[in-house]
Amino acid sequence: MVEQQIWQYAPVLILLLVALGLIGGMLAASAALGPRGRRPPIKDSAYECGMLPVQPGGGRFAVKFHRVAMLFILFDIAVVFLYPWAVVYREMLAGQAPAVLGGVLVFVGVLLVGYLHAVRKGAFDWRG
């Protein structure tokens, strides 16, 4: 049975081989057929549609950007968890009302503690 299951992955393997072959072929063809010659640095710079770089990347950011981004992702993902709950809520309400409502109340309660903590500690304070 396991062998059958593994065979079901054969198309994935074939796709992988085709993809590798395609990319390898492109690179090999361009290396074999492409024009050879000198490559001055100007040829690697942005061309027509791009902007010329004004300074090296990787400058300094204030840590508050990082903090807000992190909190955003945390609460954003927590909200995503509410979607599957909302989908099955009506169905489960008939048989398991305490579990379905109590479960989400506990979940939102934990989030609320986190939110309170973030607010009181000044994590959203942009000037801090």
Partner 1 sequence: MNAILTMPEMAVTALALGLLVLDLWTPADRKGDLGIAAIGGLALILAGSFLFGAGAPQYAFGGMYVLDGMALFFKRLMLGVGVVALAAALEYSKRFAAGTAEYCALILLAVSGMMWAASANHWALLFVSVELMTVTFYVLVSFERTRMPSLEAGVKYLILGALASAFLVYGVALVFGGTGTLGFAGDSGPGLGTGSVLVRVGLALVLAGLGFKIGMVPCQFWAPDVYQGAPAPTAALLAAGSKAAGFALLLRVLLEAAPDWALEMRPVLMLIAGASILYGNLCAIPQRNLKRLLGYSSIAHAGYMLLGIVVLERAGAAAILFYLAGYACAVLAAFLVAALAFDPGEPEEIPALAGLHRRSPYLAAALALSMISLAGIPPLVGFFGKFLLLKGVVLAAFDSRSFGWLAGVALAGIVTSFYYYFGVVRAIYWSAPAAERPPIAVSRVAGAALGACLVGIVAAGVFPSPLLEAARLAAGALRIP
Given the rule CB under 8 A, which residues bind partner 1?
A: 2, 5, 96, 99, 109-110, 113, 116-117, 120-121
Considering the complex, state which of residue 43 and residue 120 has its C-beta at the smaller distance from partner 1.
120
Long-range CB contact pairs, 26-33, < 8 A, 24+: none
CB of 98 to partner 1, least distance (A): 8
Residues 3 and 126: their CA atoms lie apart, in Å, by 58
Instruction: Fill in the amino acid letter for 8.
Output: Q
CB of 89 to partner 1, least distance (A): 17
Residues 6+ apart with CB under 8 A from 93: 100, 101
CB of 69 to partner 1, least distance (A): 19
Residues 6+ apart with CB under 8 A from 71: 118, 123, 124
CB of 110 to partner 1, least distance (A): 7
Considering the complex, state which of residue 25 and residue 109 has its C-beta at the smaller distance from partner 1.
109
Task: Determine the length of the chain.
Answer: 128
Residues 6+ apart with CB under 8 A from 88: 100
